[in-house]
Amino acid sequence: MKDILTGFEVYEVPEYCRDWVVEEVVTKAPTFEGSGNWHWRKFIIMHNLSNKNISKVIKVLRSHGINGIFATTTPTSLTWKLEDLLNELIREDEYFRRLREEKQRMSSFYLDIGKS
């Protein structure tokens, strides 16, 4: 990801940070050592990016086949433990996936006859 997202600061968050408060993770990210490849899901958490740059990051990563759960920090999420935030992001992702699946399933039940 670092090679793909030139111009952005990209950090891997190692597993030993899972019990840290997100604000501490964000602050200390430049000092981390170790792999961020420890969770069964992939997360891309963006901090202090403009809406334009958030869209750019998501578009660039998806165009390279990198999918995961995309999120931005909020004043509230910065006070949570990282593990709690990741669990909440998983719950939200599953909820929205079910909504999309239901919408697709329901759209197949409608017939647009139109006017002749």
Model pLDDT, residue 105: 78
Residue-by-residue pLDDT tens, the chain, 116 positions: 889 999 999 999 999 999 999 999 999 999 999 999 999 999 999 999 999 999 999 999 999 999 999 999 999 999 999 999 999 999 999 999 999 888 887 766 655 666 65
In a domain, 43, yes or no: yes
Q: Quote the number of domains for the chain.
A: 1
Contact 29, 11 (CB under 8 A): yes
In a domain, 27, yes or no: yes
In a domain, 5, yes or no: no
115: β partners: none
3-class SS at 89?
helix
Model pLDDT, residue 106: 75
Model pLDDT, residue 111: 57
In a domain, 116, yes or no: no
In a domain, 4, yes or no: no
Contact 44, 67 (CB under 8 A): no
In a domain, 8, yes or no: no
Contact 99, 42 (CB under 8 A): no
In a domain, 114, yes or no: no
Domain residues for 75? Answer: 15-106
In a domain, 50, yes or no: yes
